[in-house]
Structure 1
Amino acid sequence: MASRSFYIHITIYAFVLLPLSMCAGIGGLKWVSVNLPHFRRPGEAAHLHCDYDLGNDTLYAVKWYKDNEEFYRFVAKERPQSTSYRVDGVDVDVSASDNKKVVLRPVRLRTGGLYRCEVSAEAPSFASAQSEGRLEVISLPIEDPKITGVRVQYQIGDEINLNCTSGRSYPASMLHWYINEEKISSNSVLIRYPTRKSRQGLLTTVLGLRFHLNNHHFLGGSMRVKCVSSVSRSDLDDRTSVIENLPITDLREALLLVRNSADLKQNQYIYTFLIIFVMFSMKFL
């Protein structure tokens, strides 16, 4: 069985820019606000909403940008009113989009980014205002972390030399080793390998563990070695204000149980049993 227990912290953030135009008259365009999905997975659709209050003004156009590149425009007086532009990672369903929303399908890893909606009014005010928010694309691992390098038997003084490999994910998984439930943080026993990237953009991390067995490693005649993989996303900066935190529980771990056979047989061998516990849970708050 394999224990998988990922802690995923996904943070969505958005902020509103003040109206850019100083020409807005009293009773004209008042505000613009975007409403984006908390997160999306590859293959899903994303509905981006742009709400606004024109006051006494008349709508001229609504424009959408991803990372400062325009990918959709709605012009009220033009026919057709909606136009999309090629931007990497953005696939607009024009038939399902209008002046208040844009539908992206399918979502890909490159779809993630900063999205901005800009609303402008007709003459005589020519008022303009905008709002923006970040859309995250998350791909959870399908595979459990795996421990490799296990030998059939060990003796006191032998070297433990293990690798823990995460399942492919986006963003990259973080790996941690535990011995008898104590987290290992010493770089002298940890081996860090470069992150591997697949053709699909998914990331795999590997963390090694190397140390020599001593008597103090054993509690009650056995030692438990655990590798825990977690994924987190927290890219806040000083320019943003947090509006929601959405934790997703998906914690996975691989366990290695090492028993001291000297308690059962009068020798110094330690027999190793690899036990993989699998547990998968997901919770949206």
Structure 2
Amino acid sequence: MFGWLSLFGLVLWNQGLVEGIRLLELRVPAHAPEGGAALLGCQYDLEGDQLYSVKWYKNQREFYRYVPNNRVPTSHFPTPGITVDITRSSSTVVALTHLTQASAGRYRCEVSGEAPMFATVYEEKDITIHYLPKTGPRISGLMNEYDIGDRVMLNCTSSGSRPEAHLKWLINDRPVVRDHVRGPWYRVSRERMSTTETILELRFTIMPKHFKKGVLSIKCQAVIAPLYQDDVVHQILWNDNYYSTIASPVEIFEENQLLPSPALNEMKSLGFPPLPTSEEITDNASQSQAHLPCIVLIALMLRFIL
């Protein structure tokens, strides 16, 4: 009897009444976060056939099965790294939760038609599991105050992750030139030995051109594509009296290397008040000397009275 059914199936197949099952799309995320969830999708076209089963495998080990003619159509089997949310799973979708490092591997969806042919098609894709940082990147080496000409030396450190995070420095949202960056360096995280921390150093000298509307923005960005991106920002505000902390006006004129002409021109273009001229400094000094005898006389009178 079974032989006649098989022969009948072959006749139908040859006449094109049963064209064969086709897999339309296999949706398996290439990357997923540890501790997170993943939704696996398997879309197919029966092409006139009847569905016998849909099976899912991880590394050639079956962990989920859907058989529409069974009393309970869905069933799942213990597999390391696999936790199936059966309430959200069906003939075309399997929901995985509580992903671990053991969840990484090759996943296969296999669709089979009914007897007598039991035509079967399948497709496979890989999942990589990432351990994402628990906190954002952090900047160390910051000073309380900065002036023009100060040397900035900072480290940016990412939290432990797998794989390691890619770090990038930005000044005013523009990537820093390579000459101002050292690293990256890597070290095992104390929080979790299987993860890695990344360290990237930034070194540059503060100049007036670094300030945009009176603010210098320094940002460190951490990326683990395509699942994670975070950053930390520190802002340095322009000090209107910064030149008084560098040198007195006389020193500025006598030691023109402290503030060369281009720097003075840039200060003027940014709207800062002009520095006093040498004549103004000399006049102020002369006026102070002219009042000196009066000041001495008043001091002597006060001493005699008291």
TM-score range, shorter chain: 0.5 to 0.7
Q: Within 5 A, what are the aligned runs for 1:21-40? A: 25=13, 26=16, 27-32=18-23, 33-35=25-27
Residue 66 of structure 1, aligned match among 40, 58, 67: 58
Give 1:48 shift.
2.6
Whether contact under 8 Å (1:229, 1:253) holds in the other structure is yes
Which is richer in strand? Answer: 1
Residues 148 and 208 in structure 2, CA contact (< 8 A), matched pair in contact too: no
What are the residue-to-residue correspondences of 1:185-204 with 2, within 5 Å? 185-186=177-178, 189-194=181-186, 196=188, 198-199=191-192, 204=197
In structure 2, the partner of 1:147 is 139
Deviations 1:70-108 (A, max 9, x none): 322335666765443444422123465443332322344
| Structure 1 counterpart of 2:276 | none
Which structure 2 residues correspond to residues 200-279 of structure 1 after superposition, within 5 A? 204-211=197-204, 213=205, 219=211, 224=216, 226-233=218-225, 251-257=230-236, 262-265=242-245, 267=247
Contact 1:142–1:167 under 8 Å retained in 2: yes
SS in 1 for 2:121: strand
Q: CA RMSD in A?
A: 4.4
Change (3 A) 1:95 1:262: closer
Deviation track 1:84-139 (CA, whole Å, cap 9, x = no partner) reads 34444221234654433323223446545553211122433231112345667677
The equivalent position to 2:45 in structure 1, one of 53, 56, 81, is 53
Alpha-carbon separation, structure 2, partners of 1:233 and 1:220: 30
Name the SS for the 1:265 alignment partner: helix
Report which of the two structures shows the higher radius of gyration computed on alpha carbons. Answer: 2
Question: 1:57–1:121: 8 Å Cα contact kept in structure 2?
Answer: yes
Question: Which protein has the bigger helix share?
Answer: 2
Gaps of 5+ in 2: 1-9, 249-306
Question: CA, structure 1 residues 117+152, in 2 after alignment: closer, same or farther (shift >3 Å)?
Answer: same
C-alpha distance in structure 2 between counterparts of 1:100 and 1:221, whole Å: 56
Deviation of the 1:230 alpha carbon:
4.1
Please state whether the residue corresponding to 1:207 is helix, strand or coil: strand
Normalised by the size of structure 1, how large is the TM-score?
0.59
Provide structure 1 residue ranges, at least 5 long, that are not aligned to the other structure. Answer: 1-22, 235-247, 269-285
- Deviation string 1:238-276 (CA, Å, 9 cap, x unpaired) is xxxxxxxxxx896533224275764243549xxxxxxxx
- Assess if the C-alpha contact under 8 Å between 2:36 and 2:97 holds in 1: yes
CA distance in 2, matches of 1:170, 1:190: 22
Higher relative contact order (CA 8 A, sep 6+): 1
After TM superposition, give the deviation of residue 145 of structure 1 in Å: 2.5
Contact 2:108–2:124 (CA under 8 A) maintained in structure 1: yes
SS in structure 1 at match of 2:82: coil
